[in-house]
């Protein structure tokens, strides 16, 4: 990941130093399991535990000759241990170390994301409750529809985020497996008891079955889950981008002191954070597709997935963590203009109340098609700038014969559209 979008915690998790440290964690867990089985002598295990380490430059030096990173790593660790180093990697194949260590890296990265997402969800819910009764215009197809509560818009965001939390929990369960079953998964040189003990030490569950690798459908599901979360964040960011348009200006992402929106136009205040989130969502969807491509491998394994995963796994978690943290900032400091929302409700001179008028006429006995035609006729005149919808309606004999001026006036009440807001919010615990 380029430095611009890195986060410190993900940089640590996916650093070479931590990668090799996690590989060593797996190797030492296996050594302890062999010790408990009586294969590695207690004295030898104590030496391994005390001395086992690695040097990244030495690993690179060995790898430049053998062209195999795990062999280079094992050789380096064995050198650090001495004679007892012969017990390192006993009965294992490279994927036992790689896939089990990767499960730890993915699991730990996902836990960081889940914690950050939980904080964002709470922030969005708090903001929703603070805007619970704030009226704004609802839009469909980008066109004014009917009044609604801005809090409901935010509550919808919260509901999406909670579904992402549920999916991430399931993804966490699916990748929480280690594999210590040897070449092609037969346990021929490393019995199932070693896998069970090693995985228990590592906080993983032993895979019920594997071949030479853990199957990649679980990893693909994880990437799809991250991509879905990104798509939800994109949905929210896109909404703010629309609301920040000059013609709307109901809500705006934060604009810090000294920030400049354009190198040419000093007046510009662009929604760059939201646009960045939308762009990153595209990246994550691409990574999810790459992860699905990794599911189908030759026979018991090939390594066509390896080069892909070296890129998409760290990048996906950097991007996801960055997106969540950025959107937290947007939500926390978002500027909401209640006055502009009120003006926008009035922009169409009463048109947004057309359904209430239609239903009132139907309730008083008018045929629905006839009522629709009459209301639409005046609505189109209003659209064309020929008058105010509220003024034109009482002048029609068919309407005035069924609805008095006072009754018509009551239909143009924004509060009517917020009468069930409490019922909806009551479905969510604050």
Bridging pattern class, strands 335-336 and 251-252: antiparallel
Distances (CA, A) of 80 to 28, 229, 258: 13, 43, 53
Cα angle 82-85-87, degrees, rounded to a multiple of 5 = 155
Give the integer Cα–Cα distance in Å for 269 and 243. 13
Under 8 Å between Cβ of 194 and 30: yes
Q: What are the structure tokens assigned to 51, written together? A: 């001395």
Q: DSSP letter at 52?
A: -
Look at residue 154 and give its three-state secondary structure. Answer: helix
Give the integer Cα–Cα distance in Å for 369 and 412. 22
Of 344, 370, 374, 403, the C-alpha closest to 147 is 344
Under 8 Å between Cβ of 408 and 357: yes
Element at 137 (helix H, strand E): strand 135-140
In DSSP notation, 76-92 reads HHHHHH-GGGGGTTTT-
> Which residue in the list 15, 130, 262, 401 is annotated as catalytic?
262
Show Cβ contacts of residue 236 under 8 Å, excluding neighbours closer than 6 positions. Answer: 157, 160, 327
Query: Does residue 231 carry a catalytic annotation?
Result: no
Distances (CA, A) of 306 to 35, 107, 295, 405: 31, 18, 11, 73
In DSSP notation, 213-263 reads S--THHHHHHHHHHHHHHHHHHHHHHHHHHHTSTTT-SEE----TT--S-S
> Which residue in the list 67, 141, 267, 299 is annotated as catalytic?
141
Of 103, 91, 87, the C-alpha closest to 19 is 103
Upper half-sphere CA count for residue 57 (Cβ side, 13 Å): 0
Query: Does residue 172 carry a catalytic annotation?
Result: no
The catalytic site residues sit at 141, 262
């Amino acid at each position: 990941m380029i430095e611009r979008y890195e986060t410190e915690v993900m940089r640590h998790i996916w650093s070479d130093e931590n990668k090799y440290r996690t590989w060593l964690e797996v190797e030492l867990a296996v050594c302890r399991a062999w010790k408990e089985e009586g294969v590695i002598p207690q004295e030898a295990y104590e030496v391994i535990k005390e001395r086992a380490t690695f040097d990244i430059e030495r690993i690179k030096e060995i790898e430049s000759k053998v062209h195999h990173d795990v062999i280079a790593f094992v050789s380096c660790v064995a050198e650090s241990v001495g004679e007892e180093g012969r017990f390192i990697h006993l009965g294992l194949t490279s994927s036992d170390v790689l896939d089990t260590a990767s499960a730890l890296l993915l699991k730990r990265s996902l836990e960081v994301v889940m914690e950050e997402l939980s904080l964002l969800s709470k922030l969005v819910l708090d903001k929703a409750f603070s805007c619970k009764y704030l009226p704004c215009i609802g839009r469909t197809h980008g066109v004014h529809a009917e009044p609604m509560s801005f809090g409901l818009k935010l509550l919808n965001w919260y509901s999406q985020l909670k579904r992402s939390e549920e999916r991430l929990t399931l993804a966490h369960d699916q990748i929480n497996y280690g594999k210590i079953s040897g070449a092609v998964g037969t346990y021929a040189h490393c019995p199932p008891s070693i896998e069970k003990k090693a995985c228990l030490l590592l906080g993983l569950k032993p895979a019920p079955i594997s071949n030479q690798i853990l199957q990649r459908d679980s990893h693909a599901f994880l990437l799809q889950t991250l991509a879905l979360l990104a798509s939800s964040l994109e949905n929210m960011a896109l909404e703010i981008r629309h609301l920040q348009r000059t013609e709307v200006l109901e809500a705006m992402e934060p604009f810090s002191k000294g920030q400049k929106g354009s190198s040419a136009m000093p007046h510009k205040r662009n929604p760059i954070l939201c646009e960045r989130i939308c762009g990153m969502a595209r990246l994550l969807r691409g990574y999810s597709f790459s992860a699905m491509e990794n599911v189908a491998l030759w026979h018991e394994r090939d390594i066509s997935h390896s080069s892909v995963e070296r890129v998409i796994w760290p990048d996906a978690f950097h991007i996801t963590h960055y997106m969540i943290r950025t959107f937290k900032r947007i939500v926390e400091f978002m500027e909401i203009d209640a006055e502009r929302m009120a003006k926008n409700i009035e922009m169409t001179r009463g048109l947004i109340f057309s359904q209430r008028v239609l239903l009132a006429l139907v309730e008083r006995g008018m045929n629905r098609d006839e009522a629709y035609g009459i209301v639409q006729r005046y609505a189109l005149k209003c659209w064309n700038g020929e008058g105010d919808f509220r003024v034109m309606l009482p002048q029609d004999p068919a309407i005035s014969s069924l609805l008095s001026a006072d009754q018509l006036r009551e239909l143009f009440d924004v509060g009517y559209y917020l009468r069930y807001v409490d019922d909806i919010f009551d479905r969510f615990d604050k």
